[in-house]
Amino acid sequence: MTTVPNPRSTLPIVIVGYGDIARRLAARLDRHDMTAIARHTPACPSGHHGSWHAVALDLDTDSPRDFGIPIGAIWVYLAPPAREGREDKRVARWIAEAPTTPAAVVYVSTTGVYGNRQGGWVDESVPPQPSHDRGRRRLDAERRFEAYARANRIPLTVLRVTGIYACDRLPVEKIRRGAPVPAGPEAPWSNRVHAEDLADILARLVDRIEHGNPVTGTFNVSDNHPTPVNVIYRQVAAHFGLPQPPEQSLETVLAQASPMAREFLSDSRRVDASAIQRALDWQPRYPRLAAALADCPPSD
């Protein structure tokens, strides 16, 4: 884990959507005054030296006006949209009703905004063309934050993140159940980033904001090594000593998949995330899945 050196003066942090990535980020910003917002009251991490303000807030029904949101904070918005519609009404409500203006915003979006590219490469110059409402909601949120940042003249960083994984975020149970994967050339490309690497990027972005040199714009986030999804499943199965998953036609796999899995499997693209690496002069700790698996106990 990379711990960002604390500057002479830190800004308060507001994390909207305090889950796994937020906890990893908080561990890197342990001297910051932090407001952590989630549906249920977030617990203060052990060893946190700054102030801790835990807020239980339902983004669908509660107004941020009713809670203490510090002035001049860095907003790190990690909360997903609701599961229906083409607009992110949670972001719309947050922007409209937040009682203070932030110093800067970091919004975590998804590469799902690019849609299906038939296995082609995408970088930030490729226009978004989401294939599903999930991606449309994310694109709507991006545009809302862009308009908000322009109107308030504040720095904005949008991160289009690929699939997030860690030792406890691998498809072990699917493999154990014998779930099939698409075979051979029909297998869509998988792009991923380790949770620790994403948290490192977020901490570095916060550090740059505090030092008056924010990294603004839209950036893809990935380990830069796309891999066919069937190969990913094979590697995970081998590491955990599980039977290799059966490979079937893409049509057969899609027919058996959950709605969310169907969306992911029907989009195939290879994500170029070199821009964020250049902007932050940073390299991932886990540039390939194999490097991460080496840190995972072989049995769960």
Other beta carbons less than 10 A from residue 147's beta carbon: 12
* Residues near 177 by beta carbon (within 8 Å), at least 6 away in sequence: none
pLDDT 10s digits, 148-200: 999 999 999 999 999 999 999 999 999 999 999 999 899 999 999 999 999 99
Residue 227 pLDDT: 98
Point out the residues of the chain with pLDDT beneath 70.
1-9, 300
Tokens 């994967």 belong to which residue? 181
Is residue 103 situated within a structural domain? yes
Query: So what's the pLDDT on residue 222?
Result: 98
Predicted local confidence at residue 298, as pLDDT:
86
Res 180: pLDDT: 96
Q: What integer pLDDT is reported at residue 7 of this predicted model?
A: 42
Residue 155 lies in a domain: yes
Count of domains observed in the chain: 1
Q: Are 110 and 138 in contact (CB under 8 A)?
A: yes
> Where in the sequence is the domain holding 65, given as residue range(s)?
13-166+193-224+270-286
Question: In whole angstroms, what is the distance from residue 57 CA to residue 38 CA?
Answer: 6
Does 116 map to a domain? yes
pLDDT for the residue numbered 272: 99
In a domain, 229, yes or no: no
Which CATH number fits the domain that encloses residue 36? 3.40.50.720
Q: Are 93 and 59 in contact (CB under 8 A)?
A: yes
Is residue 235 in a domain? no
Q: Distance between CA 113 and CA 166 in Å, rounded?
A: 23
